[in-house]
Amino acid sequence: MKTITPEEYAQSVKAASPPSPIVKDCTLAFLFGGFVCTIGQVLCNLYQNLGLELPQARMAVSISLILISATLTALGWYDNIAKHAGAGVLVPITGFANSMVSPAMEFKSEGFITGLGAKLFTVAGPVLVFGITASVVYGLIIFIFQI
């Protein structure tokens, strides 16, 4: 059995790997990310025109983008969009919603409660526990030091 050197292995990997179109990928990520931001701004303006104050409109935008992303994931469309958009849709809040719903959808055949709901909580649980714990610790620090 022949052992190969790290340099030979690197050459093998380079020969087997397809070239990455970095400029194209970055351009698509920029355009799709900008499109997500544009949708967010349109929603924010719409919610303000409907009578919400700016802080409430921003919260409604976040909820709307999460709902849209989760729905697109449930329909199986989000992955197809992400193939072309790359980081443009994976980094913002839409990517977070996709990462929460996507693993849960694999277990929907086990039922909505024992399959989908249980897996969704398994994924969301650590995020929620960390977020709530961090906010309590932060609140205590502010309270103790009167910042």
pLDDT, tens digit, for every residue of 24-35?
A: 999 999 999 999
pLDDT of residue 32: 93
Rounded Cα gap, residues 67 and 98, in angstroms: 10
Residue found by looking up tokens 């935008």 in the block: 61
pLDDT of residue 90: 81
> Tens digits of per-residue pLDDT, 78-111?
989 988 888 888 877 888 777 777 776 766 666 6
CA torsion sign for 76, 79, 84, 90 is positive
pLDDT of residue 107: 64
Rounded Cα gap, residues 30 and 89, in angstroms: 9
pLDDT of residue 6: 86
Put simply, whether the predicted model's pTM sits higher than 0.85 gets the answer no
